[in-house]
A and B are shown apart, each in its own frame.
Chain A
Amino acid sequence: MLGNLHPLPKLALCLIWIGASVLVFDLRFQLVTLTLAFGLLWGLQRVALWKLLALMVPFALFGFGFLTTSVLFNAESGFALQMANEQALAAPDISPGLVLFTRALACGMVSALFALTTDPGGLVRALMVHLRLPAPVGFALMQAMHLVPDLAREMQVLRMARAMRLGRPMRRLPGPGEVMALTIPLLAFAIRRATRAALAMEARGLRPNAPRTQREILPFQTRDGLAFGMGVGVLAAVLWLV
């Protein structure tokens, strides 16, 4: 459903929303944002609940530091206070740590909403068609976007090879020592993959500054405008309410 929308208005809307989330230092606004993103993914996009919760773990971890300092240590981290002071729209009575925690979750979920409903190829192609992004840069971005999930797969293979070499069975989750040992091979994999992709593209005729068909899968449609308008409207209503 959301996957059928044109990526550019969707991106604009998500960025506007993330911007608002950064500027509006208010717990309620962050909670509404979080709930909305979560609800869209769960209700409309039918993403499994366990997947959504798993997705929130890393974002929660980033926000967790603020929460621990503010709730457990009963003191605000200097950074959180500073961030709170910087914001024009801050409500002073709520713990900044808590706001930062929910903000990390909210921004994370909005990003996830975009990432899960957008094909990287479609996005990059839209950028190349409408914003005149040069093709080599566009494909470099596309490569980077595809790389992140492939790193996880490669890590699994590296772990198998390592377990075999060391002669001990593989654990389900890598320990800290194993992660350290895998950092350089993973970085090397990323660079090797960039190298090979560059060669593949060159061998198949990608030239900088040469005319190139920009094949766009999705044209702009009325529903894109409608969705964008609706998103901005909801944002305005929420802002007015809080």
Chain B
Amino acid sequence: MPHTAVWTLRETLIVAVLGAVFGVLYLGWVQVWLILQAIFGAVTMDVVMGFWFIVSIIAAAIIRKPGVALVSEVMAAAVQILLGSPAGLLLLLTGLVQGAGAEAVFAATRWRRWSLPVLMAAGVGAAVASFAYTWVRFDYGSLAPGLLMLMFVLRCASGALLGGLLGHLIVKALYKTGVLSGLAIERDLRGAHV
């Protein structure tokens, strides 16, 4: 099959479907976050944040083409809004920023490298982008530098683990189910003699 940067019909459908499924899962995660937050307090958001980056990492690692990380994250955000997310319409912007953070890391490898460290770096990329965004939105400048530092480190770690590592594990499990055959990930893993 031809291997170009243009998305095939199959890839477009997979991005849409993954966006829809993870939109639902993200909404469930909001619930987990709110309960944990009630128990553990304010920095919980930074600890759980990574999961909200995961669809961009999973979709990109499967399809390995420019734009996948960004579009899948925005799609998931749109689904959440339609399902009535408490965060409202601004979520679209949040999704755009997070997706762009992950996409930037993949772009830095020119969409060529998909090892675990790169996926974790993409999680960190999304975390950094989202940290900058929340800084502006929630006026982090007024917080103590120590707390800020802690929040930043926690969020990056969460992006790397809940986003990058968990995403990698899910992709591996999906690969075993055989549904990824014929996609870029299989070509790369089994050698390109199709």
Contacts and interface: CB of A to CB of B under 8 A. Distances in A.
Judge A-B direct contact (beta carbons within 8 Å): yes
Given A62-B86, A191-B179, A82 B138 contact: yes
A164 interface: no
A45 interface: no
18 contacts: A22-B88, A58-B27, A73-B38, A78-B45, A104-B84, A115-B82, A136-B12, A137-B16, A140-B17, A141-B16, A143-B13, A144-B19, A148-B24, A184-B173, A184-B177, A191-B180, A194-B13, A206-B9
Interface of A: 18-19, 21-22, 58-59, 61-66, 68-69, 73, 77-79, 82, 86, 100, 103-105, 107-112, 115, 136-137, 139-141, 143-145, 147-148, 151, 184-188, 190-195, 197-199, 201-202, 206, 208
Contacts of B35: 65, 68
Given A62-B85, A63-B86, A148-B20, A191 B14 contact: yes
A185 B21 contact: no
Interface in B131-189: 137-138, 170, 173-174, 177, 179-180, 182
Interface of B: 8-10, 12-21, 24, 27, 30-31, 33-35, 37-38, 42, 45, 62, 75, 79, 81-86, 88-90, 137-138, 170, 173-174, 177, 179-180, 182
A103 B86 contact: yes
B177 A185 contact: yes
B89 A198 contact: no
Contacts of A194: 10, 13-14, 16-17
B8, B14, B89: most-surrounded residue (chain A CB, <10 A): B14
Nearest to A145: B20
B111 to A, nearest CB: 20
A202 B11 CA distance: 13
Nearest to A100: B86
Contacts of A190: 17-18, 20-21
Contact of A59 (B16, B37, B84): B84
The dominant DSSP class at the A interface is helix
A104 B86 contact: yes
B12 to A, nearest CB: 5
B82 A111 contact: yes
A53 B9 CA distance: 38
A61 B24 contact: no
Contacts of B42: 78
Contact of A202 (B9, B14, B18, B89): B9
Contacts of B62: 191
Contacts of A77: 34, 37-38
A144 B24 CA distance: 12
Contacts of A62: 27, 30-31, 84-86
Contacts of B9: 136, 140, 198, 201-202, 206, 208
B170 A140 contact: no
Nearest to B90: A22
B34 A65 contact: yes
B13, B14, B27, B180: most-surrounded residue (chain A CB, <10 A): B13
